[in-house]
């Protein structure tokens, strides 16, 4: 077999393997996300929870900053924030330095809901992980390093 043919076969095999792993990973990540949403039982959409988590992490933000961080159009973020505000989970207030700018912050209720959501998700995951053997937990921890490298901070 010619060297070029061997290289082509090796590349195709590597590509096929990467595609198969990608498919399994995508399905597993989707199932895990769905299960965790169900366990959190907040009644909020994934985008609403993501926005609450972003504000919790970064503090009060403008609508534009939120839209950029969440990678959505500003009108979309405005609709979600309106729903969260109606639910009493966020507040809007004028920026201290520029009264024309509106900042969105978590309310105590929003922070409590987010904390409880995280607690439920973590409890479910910890319970599942406790059922694994030490070797499987170690392999999973190593895989997390790889996943974090793929997805960034």
- pLDDT of amino acid 52: 96
Average pLDDT per consecutive 10 residues, the chain (153 residues; last block may be shorter): 52 71 91 87 88 96 93 91 97 88 96 94 94 94 89 70
Q: How far apart are CA 83 and CA 94, in angstroms?
A: 19
Structure tokens at 135: 């070797």
Asked if 50 and 70 touch (Cβ cutoff 8 Å), the reply is yes
Q: How far apart are CA 87 and CA 114, in angstroms?
A: 13
The residue ranges of every structural domain in the chain are: 1-40, 41-151
Whether the model clears a pTM of 0.85, i.e. scores above it, the answer is no
Neighbouring residues of 78: CB distance < 8 A, sequence distance ≥ 6: 63
Token pair 């061997």 is at which residue?
6
Q: Tell me which fold the domain 41-151 belongs to.
A: Arc Repressor Mutant, subunit A (1.10.10)
Q: How far apart are CA 84 and CA 80, in angstroms?
A: 6
């Amino acid at each position: 077999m010619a060297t070029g043919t061997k290289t082509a076969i090796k590349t195709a095999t590597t590509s096929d393997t990467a595609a198969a792993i990608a498919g399994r990973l995508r399905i597993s990540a989707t199932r895990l996300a769905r299960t965790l949403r169900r366990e959190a039982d907040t009644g909020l959409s994934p985008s609403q929870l993501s926005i609450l988590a972003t504000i919790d992490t970064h503090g009060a933000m403008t609508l534009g900053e939120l839209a950029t961080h969440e990678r959505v159009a500003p009108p979309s973020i405005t609709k979600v924030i309106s729903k969260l505000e109606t639910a009493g989970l966020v507040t809007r207030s004028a920026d201290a330095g520029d009264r024309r700018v509106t900042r969105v912050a978590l309310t105590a209720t929003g922070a409590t809901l987010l904390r409880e959501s995280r607690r439920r998700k973590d409890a479910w995951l910890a319970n599942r992980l406790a059922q694994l053997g030490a070797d499987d937990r170690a392999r999973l921890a190593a895989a997390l390093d790889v996943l974090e490298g793929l997805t960034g901070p």
